[in-house]
Amino acid sequence: MSFQRKHHNLHRYILFFVLFLGLYGCGGSSSEEVVVVPEPEAPPVVEPPAVKEWWDTETPDFSENPDRPVITLIDNHTLYLPLGGNYQEVGATAIDEQDGDISEQIVITSNLNVNLADDYFVRYSVKDSDDITAIEAVRIIRVMDVYPKKLTKRPVGDSYSHLGYIEHLPANYGENPDQLYPLFIFNHGNGSNAFLSGDDPLKALLLVGRFDGLPQLVNSNNWDKNDSFVALAPQLGHPGQNDPIERIDAFIDFAIATYNIDPERVYVTGWSQGAFMTYYYAQKYPDKVAAIVPVSGGMYLEDMAAEEYCSLESVPIWAFHGADDAVVISQRDIDTIGNLQQNCNNTVLPKITIYQERDHYYIYHGTFDLTHLINGSEDITSDPAYDLYDQDIYTWLLSHSKSRE
């Protein structure tokens, strides 16, 4: 029962008691005048402010702004430390158009633990006198036992990103400070959304690691054998209530600002819900994507005009689907690729592989660990009416870049 209703009933009881005393109490009679006490107006019910969930944090601003301070790291952006080694902070500079050198105002935060092998962030942030915030700079400290850590969990709050994510860096990442790496984004399925996990951002990332492709591939040594990519698996909060496409875009901006990324080689992939988002992200931001690989997804092109979805014509696409998929039927993907092939002036003709006798689940593993590849280790056949999986997905991705299209 609400406070307002309780309050209202209380006053009804008080009024009844006053009337009772007026009519019958203190030796009075029914002929005596009854004084009716007016019921006071109940106070308004004030709704509590909406609670902003941790997985729906504000999206950082990466837009061009000449008034924004600029932070520059001193020395290399990536440093290697042996387990138990000594880290010496070398700092950064910050220059603002209006305030000049504001390096002394830089705030440095870090979660570095030199006794535990992992990849750590040392973060540098600053605001100018107009309260304009710089894009955060990050130095990565690779604390190594023998080899670098394969996977690092970066929950919401541990980085400048508005999304928590799981990170894999190539073993040689940062050895050459001038080397730029391709970026591989893996968008998870619906069962890994953060709102399903409770209130702990770090535990939430276990959903991404348990159900989806990238973490399992890396841990099982079935990841890209050449270890070519900076690979990130972001965790979305509740895609049905947010603007997931814009939030993915801001995450990619964060990745480019944080890691040594070649912006000409950004590759977006995903399974199920993540495959739909991969399509729609590339459709909205085709100039930022070198190629995409959606698995068990598709688009609702019946709701779009050809001039809308043909923005994808500059994006190489290789889709994968199971013929027996009962969650997202394969026809959704088949129709998507067919419409793109027939109605758009594609730079590279879109491809689709249909696995026979496979359903919605686990085909992303066979796609990315290459066991579904022709002559792979698993006995699986593709529908010959569509494209065969005859080239490993990593070689195919790296054959495309924005500068070559």
pLDDT tens by residue, 372-382: 998 777 778 88
Contact present, 372 and 378 (Cβ < 8 Å)? yes
Angle subtended at Cα 386 by Cα 384 and Cα 389, rounded to the nearest 5 degrees: 80
Higher pLDDT, 106 or 7: 106
CB atoms under 10 Å from CB of 258, counted, come to 23
Strands 291-295 and 351-355: unpaired
Q: How far apart are CA 351 and CA 294, in angstroms?
A: 11
When pLDDT is averaged across residues 113-132 and rounded to a whole number, the result is: 96
Q: Is the pLDDT of residue 247 over 80?
A: yes
pTM of the model: 0.86
pLDDT band at 33 (very low <50, low <70, confident <90, very high): very low
Q: Where are the beta strands (DSSP E) in 312-385?
A: 318-322, 351-355
To which H or E segment does residue 17 belong? Answer: helix 3-24
Structure tokens at 262: 């070649």
Please, which pLDDT band fits residue 333 given cuts at 50, 70 and 90? very high
Tell me the two tokens of residue 355: 């696995």
Say what the pLDDT of residue 5 is. 37
> In whole angstroms, what is the distance from residue 294 CA to residue 325 CA?
14
Strand bridging mode 318-322 / 351-355 = parallel
Where residue 121 falls among pLDDT bands split at 50, 70, 90? very high
Give the Cα-Cα-Cα angle 60, 148, 227 (nearest 5 degrees): 80
Average pLDDT on 83-96 reads: 96
Q: Which amino acid is at 67?
A: D
Q: Mean pLDDT across the stretch 208-222?
A: 76
Average pLDDT over residues 89-93: 96
Q: 192: which 2 tokens?
A: 């890994």
**So what's the pLDDT on residue 379?**
73
Closest CA to 274 of 301, 297, 251, 291: 297
User: What confidence tens digit (pLDDT) does each residue in 385-394 have?
Assistant: 999 999 999 9
Find the radius of gyration of the CA atoms of the chain: 29
In contact, 165 and 180? CB cutoff 8 Å? no
- Interval 216-225 mean pLDDT: 80
Structure tokens at 320: 């994968």
CA 91 to chain CA mean position, Å:
29
* C-alpha span between 211 and 208 (Å, rounded): 6
Paired with 318 in beta bridges are 351
Lowest model confidence (mean pLDDT) among 34-38, 97-101, 375-379, 395-399 = 34-38
Domains with residue ranges and CATH for the chain: 1-48 (no CATH), 62-147 (2.60.40.10), 150-398 (3.40.50.1820)
Q: What is the pLDDT of residue 234?
A: 96
| Of 79-93, 239-253, 283-297, 383-397, minimum mean pLDDT range | 239-253
Asked if residues 93 and 74 have their Cβ atoms less than 8 Å apart, the reply is yes
Strand pairing of 100-101 and 92-96?
A: antiparallel
User: Edge-to-edge strands of the sheet including 92-96?
Assistant: 70-73, 92-96, 100-101
How many residues make up the chain in this entry?
Answer: 405
- DSSP reduced 3-state for 389: coil
- Portion of the chain with pLDDT greater than 90, in percent: 70
pLDDT above 80: residue 241 = no
Would you report the helix, strand and coil content of the chain in percent, each value rounded to 5? 30, 20, 50
Q: Is 80 exceeded by the pLDDT of residue 38? A: no
Distance separating alpha carbons of residues 280 and 29, to the nearest angstrom: 81
Helix, strand or coil, per DSSP, at residue 84 = coil
> What is the widest separation between alpha-carbon atoms in the chain?
105
Residue 189, both tokens: 């399925």
Rounded average pLDDT over 223-232: 90
Residue 28 clears pLDDT 50, i.e. is over it: no
How does the average pLDDT of the chain come out, rounded? 86
- Residue 41's pLDDT band, with cuts at 50, 70 and 90, is low
pLDDT of residue 255: 98
Percent over 70 (pLDDT), the chain: 86
| Residue 375 confidence (pLDDT) | 75
* Spatial separation of the C-alpha atoms in residues 296 and 115, rounded to whole Å: 42
Helix, coil or strand: residue 92: strand
